[in-house]
Chain A
Amino acid sequence: MSTHVPPVGPNQTGILDHPELTLEMLEATRLFPPSSEGSDDNLAELRLEYGKRAQQGDPAGSMPKTTVANPSDELIVLLDHLGARLAFERTGVRLYDGLIAKHEAYGSWEGGPSRSELEQLRDEEYEHFSMLRRAVRESGGDPTAITPAANLELLIGSGVVAAIADPRLDLLQSLEAIMVAELADHEGWHVLIDLAQEYGFSEWLPEFKRALNQEEDHLEYVRRWIAAAQNRIEDSSH
């Protein structure tokens, strides 16, 4: 049995607590039908309309200036994705700061993370961040800017930040949150390496691949820690 059994308590969100009231609600939907015809397909039409309007205007965001005169499209794409990894690793340092705080507050479990292990992962995120800053700068980009890909990843990752910051969520729950970040980061490194190889930017490949190896370890550690908390054997085949 898992060592982390969530308590069964006064959760109010389902209908089992109020079966009679729920039947009354269903009856109401029969008595008072929708005021307009159609379905949730209407949302798709509205989104299509606004999507077209958005395309007629300026983009949601553009790339910052480079120090390279007449940058190629390949360089622009690479800098965009470098920016994304940079933003991710930078936030990742803060996420692991948050996990260390959760470790202090909640403690760990058999097979779970030690403080020094979490610190190691944080330090490796920091190394990636520092390396990526150099990579962006030396490739002609501005490491202080948010690229469109970085902005997207920050938007996606905002839920992870909120979850780890919530003091009501324990270390296991926070690790489940960081798992989402590690999975996305892992994929992001693969994309960056593929792009660098495809576009002939080989100078940084050894460092990118080293970072990917470390990120694979991160993913493995987090999977293992979560599995240990749930008393299950982690299946590394997926």
Chain B
Amino acid sequence: MTIHLLKDEGIPLDRQLLSTFTWKNLVRIPISKLDSDAFTKIRTILMNGIEMESLVFQHQAARMNRDLQYHLALVRRAEKFQQTLVNWLLPPDMTPLETTIAYEQVAIEITAAVALAEPDPYLAQVYRFGLLEDFDHMYRYSALMDRVEGKDANTIVQSYSDIVPGRPTRVEHRHPHDDLRLGYDASEADPRTKLHQLIIMSAEQQTLNYYNNIGPTFSDPAARLLYAEISLIEEQHVTQYESIGDTTLGWMDKWLLHEANEVYCYWSCLEAETDPNVRKVWELMLDLELGHLHFVRELYKTIERRDPAEILPETLPEPLRFVSHREFVRDVLRTEVELSARGTEFVHRTEETEVTREYRHQLNSEGSPSELIAAGYVWRPGTELITDLHERPTLEHAIPTGSE
């Protein structure tokens, strides 16, 4: 299916608000925690993040642009319907900690996909840098799940991603001085660069908000501490990823890009989705977003008196790849785990700034939750309580053999 960003019209906005949704078609039977593919969960979580960013952006735009408020309210209403429908696909028996594991898997696999596809080498490095940190988060949360709840995070991860340490969370804490990066220049940047920045910033922002909200709902002090620690890193990540945007773009430019990005993401989901019920959701969402894009394109011509083609390409790049990036992640882990940042540059950890060292030393001065909780943790299928595996476990020990 080819999308024409400058021509496709989708479902008209009026029809979206007045004749598309009822409460009962918004609140559908959720996907199955046990049966749904990890990448269906990843797509669902990603798209909730994309919709949440559209709401956040459109609210911020409204606060700064009186003459756009009504137009933004119209589109934002539709975005809210979409956010409800998509996020409510997640099943209630997926616990907050299980959902957390899935959130980190989103960060790992989508950031890896973006890092590989990103044409700007500096920005590809930014994504690889963040990737190793979210990768470590999933390891720490997996240890928490194993040791506190006696559950195996791989029941969510489904063996698509490794559960091993990344860049240790304990050393991820950096002073704001070292969390900002260089932004792309929209007049020169490849369309993929602009989309990637929105995607990863949205995903990290969603994760930050999620941990901010659920951190205090845990009774175990280990969990409360770990969420406090990792949510701080997510704040750093949102700081990083929003700094690689082009701050000289106007509100309408950014609105156009947001809508194009939503089209791109839903189209990517539709191309990859294996669950037939969820495919129908992506089809509907894509049509809705094309309607938003059409609306904003026309607004752009009227208000900005400019051609949307100045901002948007005619067609979309290759879709996001929803696959396991195991080998790529391992390669990055082998070569870049010792990286840190000094201002906007990436340096070896020995070259960090004094202020970052001071900041980190202070925070960790009473111990590091992420180190304590995952001390000695080695993932094993069925939890670390398995002791009958040899040093290098084989499948024969891990799972039964024989014909199915």
Contact = CB atoms under 8 A, between A and B. Distances in A.
Interface residues of B, number: 38
B29 A50 contact: yes
Interface string B80-124: 000000000001010100000000000000000000000000000
Contacts of B32: 58-62
B125 interface: no
Interface stretch (A8-16, A20-28, A86-94): A86-94
Interface of A: 49-50, 53-54, 57-62, 65-69, 87, 90-95, 97-98, 126, 129-130, 133, 137, 140-146, 148, 151, 154-155, 158, 161-163, 165-167
Nearest to B401: A67
B79 to A, nearest CB: 25
Nearest to A65: B404
22 contacts: A58-B32, A59-B32, A60-B32, A61-B33, A62-B32, A62-B35, A67-B402, A69-B404, A87-B151, A90-B385, A94-B148, A133-B386, A142-B400, A143-B382, A144-B398, A146-B34, A151-B33, A151-B34, A161-B149, A165-B220, A166-B220, A167-B219
B366 interface: no
A59 B33 CA distance: 10
A87 B152 CA distance: 10
Interface in B141-167: 147-152, 154-155
Contacts of A154: 151
A7 B396 CA distance: 55
A60 to B, nearest CB: 6
Contacts of B399: 137, 142-144
A94 B219 contact: no
Contacts of A163: 219
Contacts of B24: 49
Contacts of B401: 67
Contacts of A151: 33-34, 93
B33 A144 contact: no
Nearest to B95: A158
A54 B29 CA distance: 6
Contacts of A69: 403-404
A93 B150 contact: yes
A109 B386 CA distance: 34
B221 interface: yes
Contact of B400 (A49, A53, A91, A137): A137
B290 interface: no
Interface string B200-225: 00000000000000000011111100
A166 B222 CA distance: 10
